[in-house]
């Protein structure tokens, strides 16, 4: 298992603590985190220089697409510039939330758009992924809709988000077997019902409010889930996600310690040297 983190967490940790962005990234790297998930708008020269100095690289580039908009061009491959230039292995396709005014064919048009993007990714050597998104109006929220998309786009893979099924009141452990064969990455997101938590919140159909918290501090059954992953010989990159917590630096470091405890072999010294070599070759 290789650990990743959202680059936004490094930015937020720097803002909260007053520490230099480079220092935050070095703390992440020392904790065994070798990769980041980086949105295209975050690819400034300063950010990329800080990543390279910390010995980290980009694993996934998430990109928003408005597939139901008249302006969407299925032949436009401009979105590939960032993952190709940075040597990222995956592009996360984030479809825009569906609206009533998008019409009854909005889901079908979204599937067609995802198929077009996935084909362009495949031709560029980039793995296209969708995730179970935590908003009810997302076309990739409901497991049945996710299955329909995966069936319609064979080259598409899945990023399994452990915390996003909470909006449906579903345990990730229960839904995991349905998608196990298509999972190529995982977002480690824990949820708690504690009234003291202040992280990003979702509300389940029964009214239960779940908030983000450091990995291992909430109610997501990570021990059981990782046991299932190991039993199925699924070894995928795992990204730490703790949006909304008041001390993001501590939350990320605590999460990394917890995840390393689940899979102690995370990032050997050989892996570290390989990462530094790859980072030295990152295009700026």
What's the confidence (pLDDT) of residue 199?
84
Average pLDDT of the segment spanning 25-39: 98
Number of compact structural domains in the chain: 1
**Res 139: pLDDT:** 97
Contacts of residue 133, Cβ cutoff 8 Å, sequence gap at least 6: 94, 140, 141, 161, 164
Q: Looking at the predicted structure, is the pLDDT value of residue 154 above 90?
A: yes
CATH label of the domain that carries residue 138: 3.20.20.150
Distance separating alpha carbons of residues 167 and 139, to the nearest angstrom: 14
How many Cβ atoms from other residues are within 10 Å of residue 28's Cβ? 27
Percent of the chain residues past pLDDT 90, beyond the cut: 88
Coil, strand or helix at 239: strand
Q: Give the pLDDT score at 263.
A: 76
Contact 128, 165 (CB under 8 A): no
Question: In terms of C-beta distances under 8 Å and separation of at least 24 residues, what long-range contacts does 17-26 make, across chains too?
Answer: 17/249, 19/249, 21/46, 21/47, 21/50, 22/50, 22/53, 22/54, 24/249, 25/50, 25/51, 25/53, 25/54, 25/56, 26/53, 26/54
How far apart are the C-alpha atoms of 238 and 249, rounded to whole Å? 17
What's residue 265's pLDDT? 47
> Tell me, what's the pLDDT at 197?
86
- Please, what is the Cα angle at 213 between 211 and 219, to 5 degrees? 75
Torsion of CA 90, 96, 97, 100, to 10 degrees: -150
Query: What pLDDT was estimated at residue 264?
Result: 53
- Vertex 13 angle, CA 12 and 17, to 5°: 120
- Burial of residue 118 (number of CB atoms within 10 Å: 0-12, 13-18, 19+): buried
Considering only residues 36 and 276, tell me which one the structure prediction assigns the higher pLDDT: 36
Q: Give the mean model confidence (pLDDT) for residues 90-116.
A: 96
Q: Could you tell me the pLDDT band of residue 272, with boundaries at 50, 70 and 90?
A: very low
- Write the DSSP symbol of residue 194: -
pLDDT digits (tens, 9 = 90+) for 41-98: 999 999 999 999 999 999 999 999 999 999 999 999 999 999 999 999 999 999 999 9
Does the structure show a pLDDT above 90 at 8?
yes
Supply the pTM of this predicted model: 0.90
Classify residue 167 by its DSSP letter. G
Residue 85 sits in which domain range?
A: 3-280
* Length, in residues, of the chain: 284
The overall average pLDDT reported for the chain is: 92
- Look at strands 209-213 and 190-192 and give their pairing: antiparallel
């Amino acid at each position: 298992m290789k650990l990743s983190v959202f680059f936004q967490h490094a930015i937020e940790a720097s803002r909260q603590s007053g520490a230099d962005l480079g220092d935050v990234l070095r703390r992440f790297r020392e904790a065994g985190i070798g990769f980041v998930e980086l949105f295209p708008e975050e690819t400034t020269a300063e950010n990329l220089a800080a990543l390279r100095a910390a010995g980290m690289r980009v694993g996934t580039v998430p990109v928003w697409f408005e597939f139901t908009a008249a302006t969407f061009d299925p032949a436009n491959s401009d979105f590939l510039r960032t993952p190709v230039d940075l040597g990222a292995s995956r592009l996360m396709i984030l479809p825009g939330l569906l609206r009533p005014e998008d019409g009854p064919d909005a889901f079908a048009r979204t599937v067609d758009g995802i198929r077009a993007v996935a084909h362009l990714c495949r031709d560029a050597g980039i793995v296209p992924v969708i995730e179970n998104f935590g908003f009810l109006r997302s076309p990739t929220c409901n497991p049945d809709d996710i299955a329909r998309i995966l069936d319609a786009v064979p080259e598409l893979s899945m990023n399994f988000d452990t915390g996003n099924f909470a909006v449906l009141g579903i345990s990730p452990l229960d839904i995991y077997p349905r998608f196990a064969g298509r999972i190529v990455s995982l977002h480690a997101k824990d949820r708690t019902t504690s009234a003291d938590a202040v992280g990003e919140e979702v509300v389940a159909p029964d009214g239960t409010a779940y908030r983000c918290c450091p990995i291992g501090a909430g109610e997501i059954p990570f021990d059981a889930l990782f046991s299932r992953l190991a039993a199925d010989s699924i070894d995928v990159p795992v990204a730490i996600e703790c949006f909304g917590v008041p001390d993001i630096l501590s939350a990320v470091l605590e999460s990394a310690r917890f995840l390393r405890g689940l899979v102690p072999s995370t990032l050997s010294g050989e892996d570290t040297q390989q990462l530094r070599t790859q980072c030295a070759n990152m295009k700026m």
